[in-house]
Each structure stands twice: as structure tokens, then as C-alpha cells.
Amino acid sequence: MSLLSTRQLSRHFGGLKAVENVDFDLPTGQVRALIGPNGAGKTTFVGMLSGRIPASNGQVMFEGRNITAEPAHRRIRAGMAYTFQITSVFGRLPVTENVALAMRWRTGGDEAETKRRVAESLDRVGIADRADQLAGDLSYGHQRLLEIAMGLSQDPRLLILDEPTQGLADSEIADFIALIRSLAGEMTILLIEHNINVVMQTADAITVLNSGQVLAEGTPDEIRANAAVQAAYLGTG
């Protein structure tokens, strides 16, 4: 069963067709990567999935329910968590408070449960030792990890990660790959990522966007061998 699906999903900006008639199905429990060249429409597509960009046409379905017109906060409460391509942490608040703010609605103000989930989420992404730091004092890479912790703390059914390895050091990327592998099966993950090595090591399946449309879908091996993908994106055609 598909946790998330779209039908004929489109977004036009004036005469620009940023996304055009995309049919997409994400099965429950899968790690799916969304890749494509710059300007392919990835960020616009994900913005429509998360409710941050309204669709011009088409539908977004989540757990079989049409959520096309629902705002972002309702999608979050329905079980989506989305980390931004650009970090959106509260720099003047401690790391722990950033995570607590992201998920207090789930715990109903239960401080003990909030504290437990905060600690668990920070430990999961490897920054528990920075819990008391101001978020703005973290490196860019650690801010990305904090944002992932904020998403995980909400116990989502769907975790959408937009360029999560941007700004991470090589050792942090290796830890990120291990994190995604550990989360596989616990939740459904949609990964928008430029680092093709990360994609090939973490994704069960890959969707390739090009010029606002689906160019190809398949396993990592199938995508690597696809001549159209090689020509449009992988640079080997």
C-alpha cells in the first residue's frame, strides 16, 4: 500500500511549468530517493507534498486521504515531518529546546515525556553531547543533524529529508548513512539528495525528475544503468 501518492500533480509559475503531471507512489516502509539536475523541480514537488507550496493541478494523497488543500501544520499532525533544504533551527535557543518545540504537541505538554523524546532524538543523530549549546553556535552540519532530530522527535510515519548531507563532513556523511539504514523499516523516508553515493547506499528505490517530470524510477542498479538518466543527470552518457 502507498503511504503517499500524487496524481497529475503540477505547479506552474506564470509560463514556467516547474512540475508537470507527476504521478508518484511511495510504499509504506520504503526509503525513496528523489534526484535530478538543478532546476528539475524537486524542491517545488516536495513543497507541494509538505503543503508549503500550493498545487496548480492534481492531487496529493496521504494514507488514502486527499490532503491537497490541507495546510502544512495539518500534514505534520497527520504524520509527516519535513526538514528544510536550508536549516530552520532557532539559533538563540538551546539544542534541547529546539527539539522540544518541534514535538511538544505530540506529548501534550508532558514534560517528562518531552525530555525523554528530546534525549532519544539527539542521541539518535549523534549530537547528544551538544544538548545544552545554543543552536546558532553549532556548525552548519550539526544544525542539519539537529533539524533531523527535530523531525524524528515527532515520531513521523513519513520523514522527508531535503538535502540532509549538505554541509556535512565525510565522517558525518558516513554516520548519516548509518542513521538512515537504522531508520529503514521504522518509518517511510523520502530523501532529496545530490550526493549520489549517499543515494545509492541508502535508497530502496529512486525517482528521477527532469524538467518537472518523472524521467525514470527503479532500484539503484536500474537507475545507474538507465541511459536517459546517465545523459540527463549522472554525466556518463
pLDDT interval class at 171 (50, 70, 90): confident
In a domain, 152, yes or no: no
Reported as type and span, the H/E element at residue 35 is: strand 31-35
The predicted pLDDT at position 86 comes to 52
Rounded Cα distance between 117 and 21, Å, is 39
- Interhelix angle 111-125/170-183, rounded to 10 degrees, is 120
Rounded Cα distance between 13 and 147, Å, is 29
pLDDT digits (tens, 9 = 90+) for 21-53: 999 999 999 999 999 998 899 999 999 999 999
In a domain, 140, yes or no: no
In a domain, 57, yes or no: yes
Task: Write out the residue range of the structural domain in which residue 54 sits.
Answer: 1-70+190-237
- Give the CATH number for residue 42: 3.40.50.300
Nearest to 83 by CA among 107, 122, 135, 47: 47
In a domain, 51, yes or no: yes
Nine-digit cell string for 235:
554525466
- Going by their DSSP bridges, the two strands 80-83 and 158-162 should be labelled as parallel
Rounded Cα distance between 195 and 152, Å, is 22
- Going by their DSSP bridges, the two strands 213-218 and 205-210 should be labelled as antiparallel
In a domain, 30, yes or no: yes
Residues in contact with 60: Cβ distance below 8 Å, sequence separation at least 6, in sequence order: 4, 5, 6, 9, 48, 49, 66, 67, 68
The answer to whether the beta carbons of residues 136 and 91 sit under 8 Å apart is yes
The answer to whether the beta carbons of residues 162 and 85 sit under 8 Å apart is yes
Rounded Cα distance between 198 and 166, Å, is 11
Q: What is the pTM of this model?
A: 0.91
pLDDT interval class at 84 (50, 70, 90): low
Q: Where are the alpha helices (DSSP H) in the chain?
A: 42-50, 72-78, 95-107, 111-125, 140-152, 170-183, 196-202, 220-225, 227-229
The predicted pLDDT at position 225 comes to 93
pLDDT digits (tens, 9 = 90+) for 91-131: 999 999 999 998 877 778 788 999 999 999 999 999 999 99
In a domain, 217, yes or no: yes
Lowest mean pLDDT among 103-107, 166-170, 200-204: 103-107
The predicted pLDDT at position 237 comes to 40
Domain count, the chain: 1
In a domain, 225, yes or no: yes
In a domain, 214, yes or no: yes
Nine-digit cell string for 220:
539503484
